[in-house]
Structure 1
Amino acid sequence: MRAEMHPFDKNLFRTGTGLAASSRTLEDLWREVADHGHSGSIALRETAALLATARWSVATAAARNESRGLHRREDCPAQDPRLAARLLSGGLDRVWVALDRPSASVQPGQLEAVS
């Protein structure tokens, strides 16, 4: 997991191809933890939590086909106005990513609670 999340060449200089490769590796690790990780130890739960977070991060980065803020995609250097919103992600056995559009009652610059 560390080999997918720490190197700059994978996380600072992102590409769709690189993110897809990281996703496959992280999914394989997730299946291994799910298949063989029934001991319930604290270390295993911590590993599963870190792995889940890594999977959400990579899936969200792959869904954002643009460069915005600290997120840089070498294969998508421009901003996409359609993605000018938060991306929400979650799921354990199946990771999902959804575009979060603020409601009409939220003013620009105001934080909205995620329900």
Structure 2
Amino acid sequence: MITVEELIEMKNQEMSPFSNKYVWLILTIEDSLIAKSNPETRINQLLEQYNFDDKAKLMIVHQFFKVGHQSAEELYNIFGFENYTEEQTFLEDKYANELLDKF
């Protein structure tokens, strides 16, 4: 299972033609959201392949909110966080500081 720490480590893994594996993942999710062709299925298949834990998924959602992406709320719901409390969806500062300002 990929943890939030391993998700952050993806920023240090090169992945051509993207700057790193983290950016590749975020852009792949963005592409799935924009395509509107079964975005929930496409995203869940991608995440099942890598088996992200809930904290890692939460960081991905926060990444979309940080850059003001129009589909951040949709992604939040795809991951099933709509029934979580505010406390459960809080991203610790040590992880929030790892979010990119743009992708």
Normalising to structure 1: TM-score of the pair? 0.29
Larger radius of gyration: 1
- Between Structure 1 and Structure 2, the one with more helix by share is 2
| TM-score computed with the length of structure 2 as normaliser | 0.31
Flag the structure with higher strand content: 1
